[in-house]
Chains A and B, each alone.
Chain A
Amino acid sequence: MLEIKNLHVKLADEDKQILKGLTLTVPKGEVHAIMGPNGSGKSTLSYVIAGRDGYEVTEGDILWNGESILEMAPDERAAKGVFLAFQYPMEIPGVAGLTFLRTAVNAVRKKRGQDEMTTPGFMKYVKEQAAKLNIDFEMLKRPVNVGFSGGEKKRSEILQMAMLEPTLCVLDETDSGLDIDALKIVSDGVNALRSPDRATLVITHYQRLLNHIVPDKVHVLADGRIQKTGGKELALELEKSGYAGYTGKAA
């Protein structure tokens, strides 16, 4: 279970408070969606869960399976099952996709007390997973994400997710930039990972995604806090009326 308790986050080297007492619980086996206006702190939340530098938690805690993860380095969190699909996946020139995947998979397996994958075993597994996501295997020989289209980058994130077998999946606007077919493929990929021991947090601006990945709950994040929580129908409501009722500024 993911428990975020009264989380206050500011920028480390600026006096800017972004999250102001965010509380949220995602039990295992459930998929929750977070929606909210631009700049409300959704990506910040995802980064703080993954352990990115530059943010300071001034109050509150994040527990994963009952254990606080705030003091853990990002790679330790990954070993504990945390995975973030980035809103803006990064390009790593000079590092082939396959090398990157293999290094990551084996690092995580090692920390989880599993055997490293053999080369043939790994290759077979990547090929299978890539095929499911309609990713051209040749693309994985190229440097990570370099020259990939927006949609290709998002699919490459989901491939990494599938390969690393996380138990806490945070997807930050994975649907943005995907065409209709890719949206379906990626959603199928995420749904395939739905399981009783996996918790998933989906950040999105579009109700459309939630037709494919049907959430157990929808949360509205505005002004640094969860303003409202509801069922999947809340997304439809937001689609109609926008965030006007949730932000301090708006009428």
Chain B
Amino acid sequence: MNVAIPKTKAEQSLSEAFEANAAKLPGSAAVQAARATAIGAFNKLGLPHRRVEEWKYTDLRVNLKDALPPAVSDAALVTAADLAGALGGLAGLDATRIVFVNGSFRAELSDGAAIRGLEVQPLSRALTAAQDKVAEGLMRTSGPEGDATIALNTAFMTDGAIVRVADGATLAKPLLMVFATAGAAAQLTSVRNIIATGDGSAATVIEAHVVLDGAAASGQTNALTELTVGQSATLAHVKIAAGSGKSVHLANWNVSLGRDATYRGFQYTSGQALARNQINAVYAGVGGKLDLSGAYLVRGTEHVDTTLVIDHAVPQCESRELFKGVLDDRGRGVFQGKIIVRPDAQKTDGKQMAQALMLSPDAEFDSKPELEIYADDVVCGHGTTSAELDADLLFYCMSRGIPENEARALLIESFIGEALDKVEHDGLREALSRSANAWLSAAKG
């Protein structure tokens, strides 16, 4: 029984932090009520642990030792140059920017100019200004019931982007949403984005979670993005979570695809002491196409968990997943991918692949693919591989004069390259590839 389990230090401090800060968190009475309900749910749930099936490889009671004080308002001095430094290869990307520092919207770092077909506003304003019904709606998610990370996000979220792409609009530039951690005090930053694209629209949205130079390394982020892709719309969505090596990143994407919609999601994760990337996708109309992929780089005692639930609720939809992890030292990668095919979802076509490259004998990869199929006319498959760097290929490269460290980097790049290639935007793919390179060269030092 839950009651029998004593609360961990982190659980205790999260509950107390809510009581202490509730009044400072943005939102009208309805929003405050929703927050109170959420923390109530969390108090009952506690942090998920290994006896909760979905969390069996990522025990937050064990791995999340300390919960940091929540970020409520932000005063950190951040310049455009600081931001550029943290964004690395993304800094030069031609994109429309909206910037948040420690979970607070920063107008002076964001692009103000109006873009046809695109509406972007900070969530904090909507939470405070909108009518109760609307604001309450913003608090709802389509994520799984009883998920502690979602409950915490609802309780503590301070800001994020509300994005609407108009029917038929094609955005010429990607929207870059930057979430920067700054300042010497390590905090728990909670953000929520709500993205809805119109019928027949096409857009690319990037979520970049970065740590500024000189910021506290051990910051924690809880980021939730709620996505609704319109009928026959195409949405490319890329998340970059490049941490300090000590940071914690808990993320949820809840995706709903309209009829004949195409959604291409990609996640890049590196430098996270602990990361849990949950993606819940459901098809709201027939003919939807979903392509989820990602690359994660793990070293030291870092732990990166990718947990997907793809719900084929309607017929004739397609899903593709490809996740690649590079695991060094005592790092741990977790992949859980569940594909549900409901009784009506005939002609479902689902394929899933999770691969790990083990750079060290002490690294660990846990993979749990699950197919839950209730329809009979479907094509579904999954695979998992885990391998070391190929010694023969390493020799081949070295015999051509390439030094061992470069040869290793080349082969590791080629391993994750297959996943990076899923990112269609050239500049973005190159920026990601540069981030991965930087990670690899840091290994040499």
Listed in ascending order, the chain A residues whose CB lies under 8 Å from chain B are: 50-53, 73-75, 77-79, 83-84, 86, 89-90, 92-95, 99-100, 103-105, 107-108, 111, 143, 160, 164
Cα–Cα, bound, A73→B408 (Å): 14
Are A95 and B414 also in contact (CB < 8 A) when A52-B395, A86-B396, A90-B392 are? yes
Task: Tell me if B410 and A50 are in contact (CB < 8 A).
Answer: no
- The interface-forming segment of B100-108, B109-117, B287-295, B397-405 is B397-405
Are A108 and B401 also in contact (CB < 8 A) when A94-B413, A95-B414 are? yes
Q: How far is the CB of A116 from chain B (nearest CB, A)?
A: 12
Q: Please give me the residue from chain A that is nearest to B418 by CB atom.
A: A94
Q: Please give me the residue from chain A that is nearest to B392 by CB atom.
A: A90
Task: Tell me if A73 and B401 are in contact (CB < 8 A).
Answer: no
**Residues of chain B with a CB closer than 8 A to A107's CB:** 400-403, 406
Q: How far is the CB of B139 from chain A (nearest CB, A)?
A: 43
Cα–Cα, bound, A104→B391 (Å): 18
Q: How far is the CB of A245 from chain B (nearest CB, A)?
A: 34
**Residues of chain A with a CB closer than 8 A to B413's CB:** 94-95
Cα–Cα, bound, A92→B418 (Å): 12
Q: Please give me the residue from chain B that is nearest to A103 by CB atom.
A: B402
**Residues of chain B with a CB closer than 8 A to A105's CB:** 401
For residue B393, CB closer than 8 A to chain A, the reply is yes
**Residues of chain A with a CB closer than 8 A to B406's CB:** 103, 107
Task: Tell me if A92 and B398 are in contact (CB < 8 A).
Answer: no
Q: How far is the CB of B347 from chain A (nearest CB, A)?
A: 31
Q: How far is the CB of B415 from chain A (nearest CB, A)?
A: 7
Q: Please give me the residue from chain A that is nearest to B395 by CB atom.
A: A52
Q: How far is the CB of B322 from chain A (nearest CB, A)?
A: 13
**Residues of chain A with a CB closer than 8 A to B414's CB:** 92-95, 143
For residue B309, CB closer than 8 A to chain A, the reply is no
Cα–Cα, bound, A74→B403 (Å): 8
For residue B216, CB closer than 8 A to chain A, the reply is no
Task: Tell me if B402 and A75 are in contact (CB < 8 A).
Answer: yes
**Residues of chain B with a CB closer than 8 A to A86's CB:** 396
Cα–Cα, bound, A95→B410 (Å): 7
Task: Tell me if B410 and A73 are in contact (CB < 8 A).
Answer: no
**Residues of chain A with a CB closer than 8 A to B402's CB:** 75, 103-104, 107
**Residues of chain A with a CB closer than 8 A to B393's CB:** 90, 92
Q: How far is the CB of A141 from chain B (nearest CB, A)?
A: 14
Q: Which of A50, A100, A103 contacts B399 (CB 8 A)?
A: A50
Are A74 and B392 also in contact (CB < 8 A) when A92-B414, A95-B414, A107-B403 are? no
Q: Which of A52, A53, A94, A164 contacts B401 (CB 8 A)?
A: A164
Q: Which of B392, B404, B410 contacts A103 (CB 8 A)?
A: B410
**Residues of chain B with a CB closer than 8 A to A52's CB:** 395, 399
Q: Please give me the residue from chain A that is nearest to B416 by CB atom.
A: A94
Cα–Cα, bound, A105→B406 (Å): 13
Are A73 and B400 also in contact (CB < 8 A) when A92-B414, A107-B406 are? no
Task: Tell me if B410 and A53 are in contact (CB < 8 A).
Answer: no
Chain B stretch 360-400: residues in CB contact (< 8 A) with chain A: 391-393, 395-400
Cα–Cα, bound, A86→B400 (Å): 11
Task: Tell me if B410 and A74 are in contact (CB < 8 A).
Answer: no
For residue B411, CB closer than 8 A to chain A, the reply is yes
Task: Tell me if A75 and B403 are in contact (CB < 8 A).
Answer: yes
Q: Please give me the residue from chain B that is nearest to A160 by CB atom.
A: B400
**Residues of chain B with a CB closer than 8 A to A92's CB:** 393, 396-397, 410-411, 414
**Residues of chain B with a CB closer than 8 A to A77's CB:** 399
Given A75-B399, A93-B418, 9 new contacts (CB under 8 A): A50-B395, A51-B398, A52-B399, A77-B399, A86-B396, A94-B417, A95-B410, A107-B401, A160-B400
**Residues of chain B with a CB closer than 8 A to A103's CB:** 402, 406, 410
For the complex of A and B, 10 pairs with smallest distance between CB atoms = A94-B414, A78-B401, A108-B401, A74-B398, A104-B400, A94-B417, A75-B398, A90-B396, A95-B414, A107-B401
**Residues of chain B with a CB closer than 8 A to A164's CB:** 400-401
A-B contact pairs, 5 of them (CB 8 A): A74-B395, A75-B402, A78-B400, A90-B392, A103-B402
**Residues of chain A with a CB closer than 8 A to B396's CB:** 86, 89-90, 92
Task: Return the CB mask of B242-272 against A: 1 if under 8 Å, else 0.
Answer: 0000000000000000000000000000000
Q: How far is the CB of A135 from chain B (nearest CB, A)?
A: 17
Cα–Cα, bound, A90→B395 (Å): 10
Q: How far is the CB of A123 from chain B (nearest CB, A)?
A: 18
Q: How far is the CB of A99 from chain B (nearest CB, A)?
A: 8
Cα–Cα, bound, A49→B124 (Å): 68
Cα–Cα, bound, A105→B400 (Å): 8
**Residues of chain B with a CB closer than 8 A to A73's CB:** 398, 404
Cα–Cα, bound, A74→B400 (Å): 8
Task: Tell me if B395 and A104 are in contact (CB < 8 A).
Answer: no
Among B395, B404, B407, B411: residue with most chain A CB under 10 A: B395
Q: Please give me the residue from chain A that is nearest to B391 by CB atom.
A: A53
Task: Tell me if B410 and A100 are in contact (CB < 8 A).
Answer: yes
Cα–Cα, bound, A89→B415 (Å): 19
Cα–Cα, bound, A93→B357 (Å): 14
Task: Return the CB mask of B414-445 against A: 1 if under 8 Å, else 0.
Answer: 11011000000000000000000000000000
Among A51, A74, A107, A160: residue with most chain B CB under 10 A: A74
Cα–Cα, bound, A84→B401 (Å): 11
Q: Please give me the residue from chain B that is nearest to A101 by CB atom.
A: B400
Q: Please give me the residue from chain A that is nearest to B400 by CB atom.
A: A104
Task: Tell me if A84 and B415 are in contact (CB < 8 A).
Answer: no
Task: Tell me if B400 and A100 are in contact (CB < 8 A).
Answer: yes
Q: Please give me the residue from chain B that is nearest to A49 by CB atom.
A: B399
Q: How far is the CB of B89 from chain A (nearest CB, A)?
A: 18
Q: Please give me the residue from chain B that is nearest to A108 by CB atom.
A: B401
Task: Tell me if B418 and A79 are in contact (CB < 8 A).
Answer: no
Cα–Cα, bound, A103→B396 (Å): 13
Q: Please give me the residue from chain B that is nearest to A93 by CB atom.
A: B414
Q: How far is the CB of A10 from chain B (nearest CB, A)?
A: 18
**Residues of chain A with a CB closer than 8 A to B410's CB:** 92, 95, 99-100, 103
Q: How far is the CB of A130 from chain B (nearest CB, A)?
A: 16
Cα–Cα, bound, A143→B414 (Å): 9
Task: Tell me if B391 and A94 are in contact (CB < 8 A).
Answer: no
Cα–Cα, bound, A220→B47 (Å): 73
